[in-house]
Amino acid sequence: MPDDLKMLIGGKWVDSVSGATFEATSPSTGEMIARVPEGAREDAQRAIAAANAAWRDWASRSAFERGSTMKRMAEIVGERRDDLARTLSLDQGKPLRAEAHDEVEELIAYFEMASADATRMEGLIPPSVDAGKRVFVYRVPRGVVGVISPWNWPYTMPGELLAPALAYGNAVVWVPAPSTSVCAVRLAQCIEDAGLPPGVFNMVTGPGPVVGDEIAANPGTHAVGFIGSIATGHRVAERAAGKELLLEMGGNGPLVILEDADLDAAVAGTLTACFLNAGQSCTAGERILVHESVHDAYVAKLRTAIDGEIRLGDPFDDATTMGPLNNSPVADKTEQHVADAVDRGAEVVVGGKRAPHLGSELFFEATVVDGVTDEMAIAREETFGPVVPVSTIRSEEEAVRIVNGSPYGLLSAVFTRDLRRGLRYAEAVRTGWVNVNEGTNYWESHLPFGGASGSASGVGRVGGRFSMERLTELKTVVVGLD
């Protein structure tokens, strides 16, 4: 029998006020796996009220006490790692052996980092113009932080916001993506079981345009952290006007392969860049720019590598390296982008279609599309599917122009044997992160991650202590000695 899940408000597991539910289904089979409360604005309002009643007490606790609670969360996740990984494969579609366990381990790292970072809210004692006064500048929590998270990494994406927000003394109201609500409930259970005071952590399931919009716009939230699409991120920013924002939005992961690149390394980097999580990553390689002198050799090596290393199939099969796409809109968009590219003159080298015989319409073949040009949707937009869109370039300078001509600015990568060229490229492109001789899906969870200023990829930085800039604020206190 499918589970009947609850949402967490004020320390209690509850249904929606309306009693409405929606079905959670497995992307690999289409079968219903749970019934989930369909939250309404009133549910989000109740959660915000509970958070406001709780946050001042939580903020007044010792940083070491809060850090200890974060440590306990990490331990609970570790104790439940197998169940969490299996839930991830069932609800999101990631291969259990190849990917799901890795995401759980990274979630543990986020809570462990937050445990340490809780004790690093250091301030300043700047001088006063008046010798009879002393100035203290503290870092203090924002208050109530609204968190809106996506379905592609349903543990680590919320984890990189929830863990530091709680560690720094904020209360949280979390709205997870509906299509991975089962994962969200399992994670919420881990957080709640660590012993937080009631109301410090709340989770409301339901449609983003309803409950997500409410936590963005409601005056009871003091900061909003969002990870997701550009269009939704812009809407969140509009609705949360005047609040502190931490927005991690889309990218198209331009990956540049210069004429002096190690092609074997570049191909290995491409496989991870384009097929990790079936391409459903904000840092996925969605624009592969290959120098004309190595183009043919690269494509040939890539085709051979895909045939030998990418296995599409049941997420619970140990041999599977790539599972289904998570939802129909993403599968539809992937199919449309490939078709548009072919209509405009590109060639499908490998794959290019769905594989419903594997269990559902959400399985999509590992695909290489060659001859991609600027006017194609696959070059201009986020595809978010398992596609390698290959374009030919003639120079390093052309690559930089293409990357900087994009509205995105999240992450890019370059392959070259000349580290001077790699550093020159890194300093020339306007992306928040650059990998040299690594694919675009390489990151480390303690490092600052976010979009370049002025790009469509967001504002602020997640990653270890770097989220402190957005999740806390400075308070200045002047004391007279006379």
Half-sphere exposure of 2 (CA within 13 A, CB side): 18
Give whole-number Cα distances, 312 to 85, 277, 319, 325, 459, in Å: 18, 11, 9, 11, 35
Q: Is 248 a catalytic residue?
A: yes
Q: Cβ distance 402 to 243 under 8 Å?
A: no
Could you tell me the end-to-end alpha-carbon distance of the chain, in angstroms, rounded to an integer? Answer: 72
Q: What share of the chain is helix, strand, coil (3-state, %, to 5)?
A: 40, 20, 35
Tokens of 469: 């800039």
Sequence-distant (≥ 6) Cβ neighbours of residue 138 within 8 angstroms: 121, 123, 474, 475, 477
Q: How many CB atoms lie within 10 A of CB 96?
A: 20
Distance (Å) of CA 230 to CA 145, 251, 467, 471:
20, 9, 20, 21
Name 94's Cβ contacts closer than 8 Å, sequence gap at least 6: 88, 100, 103, 277, 315, 323
Could you say which of 160, 192, 244, 248 is catalytic? 248
For residue 354, list its beta bridge partners.
364
Catalytic residue among 192, 282, 365, 396: 282
**Closest alpha carbon to 373 in 391, 395, 385, 399:** 391
Name the pairing type of β-strands 32-37 and 3-4. parallel
Other CB atoms within 10 A of residue 318 CB: 10
Within 10 angstroms of residue 319's Cβ, the number of other Cβ atoms is 10
Per the annotation, the verdict on 282 as an active-site residue is yes
Residue 402's H or E segment, with its range, is helix 396-404
Provide the greatest CA pair distance for the chain: 81
User: What are the two backbone dihedrals, phi and then psi, of residue 389, each rounded to the nearest 5 degrees?
Assistant: -90, 110
User: 176 near 184, Cβ under 8 Å?
Assistant: yes
For the annotated catalytic residues, the residue numbers are 248, 282
